[in-house]
């Protein structure tokens, strides 16, 4: 856990979020600025800066993120979804704790 990380604080329950799913490996919560009818962030409980870092240090957590993304899509948008990871500030990553965006329903053109 990183003391100054927004998502670590959400994982720890220090900051409230609209939780969709929680298990031993991940938490998932609604994005505060949704780009689609379903827009949920899937976050590993362990801090890692981006998806590549999770894959290198904790591949089981990346697998748990994928299972959670599918479960969310099954529950909320008919099982079909786009799963997006931003890695680096220049491509839009603003919180440097790995997270995948589960997007479903009618997507905004800017994210397709």
Q: Is 97 a catalytic residue?
A: no
* Active-site position among 39, 97, 99, 101: 99
Which pLDDT score, from 0 to 100, does residue 5 have?
96
Query: 97: buried, middle or exposed (CB in 10 Å: 19+, 13-18, 0-12)?
Result: buried
pLDDT band at 7 (very low <50, low <70, confident <90, very high): very high
Residues in CB range of 3: below 8 A, 6 or more apart? none
pLDDT band at 108 (very low <50, low <70, confident <90, very high): low
Q: Does domain 6-111 have CATH number 3.40.50.1100?
A: no
For residue range 18-72, list pLDDT tens digits in order: 999 999 999 999 999 999 999 999 999 999 999 999 999 999 999 999 999 999 9
Cβ pair 56, 108 in contact under 8 A: no
């Amino acid at each position: 856990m990183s003391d100054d990380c927004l998502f670590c604080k959400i994982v720890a329950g220090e900051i409230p979020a609209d939780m969709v799913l929680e298990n031993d490996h991940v938490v998932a919560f609604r994005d505060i600025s949704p780009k689609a009818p379903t827009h949920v962030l899937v976050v590993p409980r362990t801090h890692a800066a981006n998806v590549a870092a999770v894959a290198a240090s904790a591949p089981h957590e990346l697998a748990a993120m994928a299972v959670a993304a599918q479960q969310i899509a099954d529950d909320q948008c008919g099982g079909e979804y786009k799963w997006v990871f931003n890695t680096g500030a220049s491509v839009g990553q603003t919180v440097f704790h790995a997270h995948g965006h589960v997007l479903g329903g009618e997507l905004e053109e800017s994210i397709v």
